[in-house]
Amino acid sequence: MNIIEKDYSDKRQNKKNIYIALTLIILSIVVAINTFISFKIDVGYLEATLGFIKLFSFIISILGFISCLISYNRVKKDSIFIISLMYLGLSIDILLEQIDYLTFYNNELTIPIYITVSTSILRVLILCIALSKNNKLKSMIVGNKIKSIVFVMAYTYVLGIIEMKSNIFNFNKNASLYFILYNTFLATVYVMSSLRLFIRGMKEKEYIYSVLSSSIFILSIKAIFAIFALNRVTFIYKLVSVMLTYITYLIVIMGALIELYIRINKTNILNEKLSAFYNLVNNNKYSGMLIYSEEFDLLYANKRVMDYYLMKHNTSDLNKIEEISKNEFNLGNKSEEIINKLYENGVWRGIINSSSTNKVVDCWIQLMHPSEDKTEISVTYIDISEEIKMEIEVEKRRVYDKERSNFIANISHELKTPLNLFYSTTQLLDRFVDKKEEDFRRIYNKYNKTLSTNCNRMMRLIDNIMDLSSGDVGTLNYKFKNYNIVSIIENVTLSVIDYALLKYINIEFDTNEEDVIVKCDASMIERMILNLLSNAIKFSSENTRIFVNVFVNDDWVEIYIKDEGIGISKKDQEIIFNRFVQIDKSFTRINEGIGVGLSVVRSIVDTHNGNLYIDSDINKGSEFKIVLPNQRLEDLGLENYDVNTNKVEQELSDIYELLG
């Protein structure tokens, strides 16, 4: 039984129990009244015995009919209900003394066992319908249970009375041939029906079919016995016929009792398993479990889900939880995919991001079929947010460790190169220090540029490392004032033109505004532009161009630096702004550096509340776009700024073909 429908099923079962109890009470009252009436009337021994037999026959027949209905209630097979109507008709015949007729007078002992034919034909017809494949007719009968029961009772009563009064089918000794043929027909129908029920029971593994098969087989024996007793109509033969009727119903009653006993045992075992399963599901500390109807109405939520919403939203109402959960777990573009996979494969599994709680859940959705005409949807999910965060953190640490190792290797290389030059130059100068002054001056003039260049490289390296360290601990100080940002960018661009010409690279500057006063740190803006121009020169080949453009509107200052160099792949564009990242990490690379320049650029842009973009393709050059707010400090005036030539030399120290 579905846990969700437990309360409803209990109520429905209670109603059925009440109906059964009322029926048994009515039977008990009938028996009591009959007992007291019989007790007051002075009747003979034979008449009292016959009265008891008639009453007992009727009671046991009604119990047989009820037993058949109870079996139908369990298996829900249309054929079982229709067969129960046959037993009901037989019970009415017994009540009206239209079957197993027991007379009080010896001169009536010659009346055969079967009196009414019309009612027995109805029973045969009902049995044929039950075993036929006409599902439409069977569904109509089962769909109108009360009407079907009333019809059988009315038909059996009315036609039975009419036939008994009119003696239309009264068999006597002169009509023995017809009597034999009719009972042969009945025996044949009952035997064939019994066999079909037995075969169906074996195929469908339903115990009740075997019970009904045995009961109907006794009816065939009763018909054969009627033929045998045709010319031996005595009181004892009639009692044997009554006994066969008892056995017919007792088989049904005993079968129902045995089946009920088996069902109780199975139910107890199932309840134990169901209880264990329910505890496993409801008290699951690891997974949230929900059950939805096919229309996606929430039917059930386990304790973990209920506790979560009770703690977070102070509610344990399924309707409210359904509304809240739909908002929290917004499937977005996945909803159509999930539904299609669900109805295609019966199951879907994937990762769902909660839009409002920032949770990530591993979700398993599958279809369930608690009954033939019902479909429900089971949802099981595990909150893996912490695991995802941990995996991301581990991956970050792994990447950081790798970058740190690369950084240590790069910085060792970067420091070792100028230090080797320092050492070699000092050794060379030591050799000439005791010689003529002119020789020493000549040698010094020859190598002082090399010393100066490598000093600048080391200073640039140390400045970058210090800036990154200061940024990490929050001690990097920015001095915001009002500057003409177009003038700063133009002057920085002009300061590097001579260095670019060493590689036959032309730099072009253009702007749509000459004077734009904004709030910024001029030294940081200088450093940002120098870094980007230095990269553009380093990674561009000879006889190319670099464009520096400034476009200003009411809200933003847009700075474009575009080159015709080697370009950057789409994959590498995602990581070039990370610290210590270089596209070429080998020690034999053409251009030097430790991979912190663009990280510093991004830090400067972020500090100015701006945005940084890149558009690049391999062998087609790169374009960096910087967008800064067009804002100024109202309480301060305009500040002037001169480009620091030392900073220019430091930033461009990686370009070895220095101006001579």
Contact 91, 156 (CB under 8 A): no
How far apart CA 24 and CA 92 sit, in angstroms, is 17
Contact 350, 380 (CB under 8 A): no
Q: Which of 274, 281, 371, 300 is closest to 4 using CA atoms? A: 300
- The answer on 194 and 65 residing in a single domain is yes
- Residue 538's alpha-carbon distances to 307, 567, 654, in angstroms, are 62, 12, 8
- The answer on 557 and 512 residing in a single domain is yes
9-58 tens-digit pLDDT:
445 545 555 555 555 555 556 545 554 555 445 556 666 666 677 777 77
Q: How many residues does the chain have?
A: 660
pLDDT of residue 556: 93
3-state secondary structure 514-555: CCCEEEECHHHHHHHHHHHHHHHHHCCCCCCEEEEEEEECCC
Kindly give the interhelix angle for 45-75 and 235-282, rounded to the nearest 10 degrees.
30
- Residue 429's alpha-carbon distances to 433, 439, 445, 660, in angstroms, are 6, 10, 11, 21
Domain final residue pick, 363, 383, 403: 383
Q: What element of type H or E holds 490?
A: helix 485-495
Beta strands in 226-326 (DSSP E): 288-293, 298-301
249-287 tens-digit pLDDT:
888 888 888 877 877 888 888 888 878 877 878 888 778
Backbone angles phi, psi at 477, to 5 degrees: -95, 130
Domain final residue pick, 366, 383, 400: 383
How far apart CA 419 and CA 593 sit, in angstroms, is 15
If you ran DSSP here, which 8-state letter would residue 392 be given? H
Is the residue at 293 inside a domain?
A: yes
- The answer on 455 and 333 residing in a single domain is no
pLDDT of residue 456: 62
- Which domain does 236 fall in, by range? 43-267
403-412 contacts at long range (C-beta below 8 A, 24 or more positions apart):
403/578, 403/579, 403/580, 403/581, 404/580, 406/580, 406/582, 406/585, 406/595, 407/579, 407/580, 407/594, 407/595, 409/587, 410/580, 410/582, 410/585, 410/593, 410/594, 410/595, 411/461, 411/465, 411/594
pLDDT of residue 510: 93
CATH number of the domain residue 499 falls in: 3.30.565.10
- The answer on 165 and 93 residing in a single domain is yes
> How many Cα atoms occupy the beta-carbon half-sphere of 226 within 13 Å?
31
Contact 542, 599 (CB under 8 A): no
Report the 10 Å Cβ neighbour count for 30. Answer: 14
- The answer on 305 and 196 residing in a single domain is no
First-to-final CA distance of the chain: 93
How far apart CA 244 and CA 206 sit, in angstroms, is 25
- The answer on 429 and 362 residing in a single domain is no
CATH number of the domain residue 415 falls in: 1.10.287
- The answer on 407 and 357 residing in a single domain is no
- The answer on 510 and 398 residing in a single domain is no
Is the residue at 8 inside a domain?
A: no
Is the residue at 23 inside a domain?
A: no
Backbone angles phi, psi at 505, to 5 degrees: -105, 130
Is the residue at 540 inside a domain?
A: yes
Is the residue at 353 inside a domain?
A: yes
How far apart CA 601 and CA 608 sit, in angstroms, is 11
Strand, helix or coil for residue 352: strand
Q: Which stretches in the chain have pLDDT values below 70? A: 1-51, 100-115, 167-175, 232-235, 325-335, 354-357, 371-372, 400-476, 579-596, 650, 653-660
For the chain, the farthest-separated pair of C-alpha atoms sits apart, in whole angstroms, at 169
- The answer on 508 and 458 residing in a single domain is no
> How many Cα atoms occupy the beta-carbon half-sphere of 548 within 13 Å?
24
Q: Which two tokens stand for residue 301?
A: 């939520």
Domain final residue pick, 242, 267, 292: 267
- The answer on 415 and 291 residing in a single domain is no
CATH number of the domain residue 299 falls in: 3.30.450.20
Is the residue at 314 inside a domain?
A: yes
- The answer on 489 and 619 residing in a single domain is yes
Is the residue at 7 inside a domain?
A: no
- The answer on 528 and 480 residing in a single domain is yes
Which segments of 96-166 does DSSP mark as H helices, in order?
A: 118-131, 135-143, 145-166
Is the residue at 337 inside a domain?
A: yes
Domain count across the chain: 4
